[in-house]
Amino acid sequence: MVDKLSPDQKEVGTHNYHAAVGSYYDVNRRDFLRGIVGVGAVSGAGLGAMYYGYGKVNDPVRVAVIGTGDEGNVLIGGCTPEYVQVKAICDVRPFSVHRAFHGEWTSPSTLERRPGLLSVYGYPNEAQARKEIKVYDASNGGIMACLDDPEIEAVIIALPLFLHAPVAAQAMERGLHVLTEKLMAHDVAQCKVMSRMANEFKDSKGNPLHLATGHQRHYNVKYDNAVNLIRWGLLGQIHHIRAQWHRSNVPGADSWSMPIPGGEKMANGKIFDKIKSDLAYREKDLLDAVDPVEANRLRQQIAMFKAWDADKAIDPKMFGYQDFEVKGRKFSAMEELHRWRLFDRTGAGLMAELGSHQLDAVSIFLSSLRDDGKKVHPLSVHAVGGRHMMPLDRECEDHVYCMYEFPGPDYSAEFDVGYYDKVEDYPKGGSVDGYDKDPNKKVVVTYSTINGNGFGGWGEVVLGTKGTLILDSEVDVMLYRNSDTSSKVGVSKKAGGYVLDTSASGDYAAPIAQAAAAGPVSRGYREEIEHWAYCIRNPDKENRVRCYPEVAMGDAVIALGTNVALKNANSGKSGYLEFKEEWFQIDSDETPDGSTIAGATDYMKKPVA
């Protein structure tokens, strides 16, 4: 997102952000940031509690992690022992189970994101960990046995998308709280059934169930600070948002097209087994290793690759995966298991996996300017895209481009939009009507999610009449006065409100905000799990997870509705879709994707292998 900014311009933007955040808290929550630094709650345990207002729990929630693949292991890394105690894991793949205990040793960065249960909970070895954590797989009843475990009171679901709804439904029927990875479900009807079940069922103590969905930007402190600055008026009237997620994936090197255990047949008829080849490569390197740290790293990788190779003994058909054919190309159940994101029956493509996060962020920004606290829904989308680069190894698109229209919010006379036309006397009285009163008032959001060389990365740019805010890769935030990327600014109070001002250095506040942002930046996984656990232990009505069913379902409607527009565009129809408000209503049976409540209910009642 910051590919056009020089290092100096980035430094200016970062300074401006810290100055503005420091000023915001100095004015609105005096000594808040100083308190964070004072108690040492910096970018780690305790930071989320102070930002989001939840407390400790006396009795950690006993959870099972169902699905310990890539995202499941990220969520394990987000578990705080003081809030949740992992008592069980469930997965049919030896590779996933191994990583759940030992972490992902492919690189230092993957190990940081997926540290494993031994690291998170301090177990000395896997044998000791297994005394406290039960492993459910095909040999002992799998998912259904895990859900029936009397020690479990809540589940974290990180399965392929088509399994989110049935497992969540089976869990809620048993009175278990649920935190499921995004997207909430595979179709909109499933989302509505899940939402209704969460409202209907109670836990074993008669308390309401907490159904949370892992759109973790709701718990990312950087995004929360961005919302505060928008609401404070530093950007003025929001008139455009640009978002993107550009990934470095090309044919033959695609992170969604994982190697198949046991190998796969190439065009020349020979078998290519990448996992076995990579294992042999590391075993050879270990023989020559001298440095003990490097030798340990290689031993960990060898154990991990052996577990990965063991996945070849699995029969995916036992767990609901199928052989199928697309345009004459045959796919195996093993491919559907390991590459489920690529196929329509098991996944929902780029919009579900990536776009849903960023359209969620867009709605967070625009919703922050509403007075009713409700989530903003788009009015329409015009979408195009397709399989522009990849071979026929998938059903999902590899390039998606979207243009959304969102309703513009009202701006009161007390909110400084940063402009006034004397001739037109506009805005009259200082207030600007929103879409409800003036249908011309819309915010257009452009979004692209593409594979290729990855240039530009991912993030969001929010353009206002007074300033520009850039959120890059969920980690770095830059703020500029209007489009001026070279001037350091602070915050001054003017007659109309607070503004970014070159004459106000902000030096008194910036170091405090910068100190609070020091250290490894949390992307929100830790905080979403902590807050979910806090709400479970404190079932007062006002305690509710931030991404509750209505919010998560809204994100699903946007993503899955966009998929409908894409399919229409690729079948020779218009890629334009108007969103209906009934699609976003839990009690309405209307959906954009043709899914039905009856069909979803029937599917979700079936036991899961």
15, exposed or middle or buried, with CB in 10 Å at 0-12, 13-18, 19+?
A: buried
Q: Which of 302, 317, 333 is the last residue of a domain?
A: 333
Looking at residue 212, its pLDDT comes to 98
For residue 17, being part of any structural domain is answered with: no
Separation of alpha carbons 483 and 141, rounded Å: 59
Q: Which of 317, 333, 349 is the last residue of a domain?
A: 333
Looking at residue 43, its pLDDT comes to 44
Report the 3 state secondary structure along 373-384. CCCCCCCEEEEE
Angle, vertex CA 129, rays to CA 126 and CA 133, nearest 5: 125
Separation of alpha carbons 1 and 286, rounded Å: 40
Looking at residue 541, its pLDDT comes to 87
Looking at residue 396, its pLDDT comes to 97
- Partnered with residue 493 across adjacent β-strands are 498
For residue 253, being part of any structural domain is answered with: no
User: Strands (DSSP E) along 131-210, which ranges?
Assistant: 134-136, 154-157, 177-181
Separation of alpha carbons 153 and 210, rounded Å: 11
Segment 424-465, tens digit of pLDDT: 999 999 999 999 999 999 999 999 999 999 999 999 999 999
User: With 90 as the cut, is the pLDDT of residue 383 above it?
Assistant: yes
The whole-model pTM stands at 0.96
Range of the structural domain that residue 323 is part of: 264-333
Task: Indicate whether 81 and 182 sit together in one domain.
Answer: yes
Token look-up 């394990």 returns 76
Separation of alpha carbons 604 and 607, rounded Å: 8
Residue 213 per-residue DSSP state: E
Question: pLDDT grade, residue 422 (50/70/90)?
Answer: very high
CA 447 from centre of chain: 16
Task: Indicate whether 131 and 200 sit together in one domain.
Answer: yes
For residue 310, being part of any structural domain is answered with: yes
> Could you tell me which of 239, 164, 261 has the C-alpha nearest to residue 419?
239
For residue 596, being part of any structural domain is answered with: yes
Segment 508-562, tens digit of pLDDT: 455 556 655 555 567 899 999 999 999 999 999 899 999 999 999 999 999 999 9
Joined tokens for residue 162: 């088509």
Separation of alpha carbons 144 and 133, rounded Å: 17
Segment 494-520, tens digit of pLDDT: 877 899 998 875 544 555 566 555 555
Task: Indicate whether 293 and 144 sit together in one domain.
Answer: no
Sign for the CA dihedral angle at 479, 482, 485, 489 comes to negative
Task: Indicate whether 213 and 277 sit together in one domain.
Answer: no
For residue 108, being part of any structural domain is answered with: yes
Task: Indicate whether 63 and 142 sit together in one domain.
Answer: yes
* All residues at 6 or more sequence positions from 486 whose CB lies less than 8 Å from its CB, including other chains: 8, 9, 12
Q: Which of 318, 333, 348 is the last residue of a domain?
A: 333
For residue 172, being part of any structural domain is answered with: yes
Segment 12-66, tens digit of pLDDT: 999 999 999 989 988 887 666 556 655 444 444 567 788 888 999 999 999 999 9
Looking at residue 28, its pLDDT comes to 82
Task: Indicate whether 202 and 268 sit together in one domain.
Answer: no
* All residues at 6 or more sequence positions from 422 whose CB lies less than 8 Å from its CB, including other chains: none
Task: Indicate whether 69 and 201 sit together in one domain.
Answer: yes
Joined tokens for residue 432: 């600007």
Task: Indicate whether 271 and 180 sit together in one domain.
Answer: no
Residue 320 identity (one-letter amino acid) = G
Separation of alpha carbons 477 and 13, rounded Å: 7
Task: Indicate whether 211 and 317 sit together in one domain.
Answer: no
Residue 393 identity (one-letter amino acid) = D
Task: Indicate whether 188 and 81 sit together in one domain.
Answer: yes
For residue 528, being part of any structural domain is answered with: no
For residue 340, being part of any structural domain is answered with: no
Looking at residue 29, its pLDDT comes to 72
- The CATH number that applies at residue 170 is 3.40.50.720
Task: Indicate whether 208 and 70 sit together in one domain.
Answer: yes
Task: Indicate whether 74 and 154 sit together in one domain.
Answer: yes
pLDDT exceeding 70 applies to what percent of the chain? 94
- Partnered with residue 386 across adjacent β-strands are 399
Joined tokens for residue 124: 């000395």
Question: pLDDT grade, residue 583 (50/70/90)?
Answer: very high
User: With 70 as the cut, is the pLDDT of residue 575 above it?
Assistant: yes
Q: Decide if 52 contacts 41 (C-beta within 8 A).
A: no
CA torsion 349-351-356-362 (nearest 10°) is: 170
* Total number of domains in the chain: 2
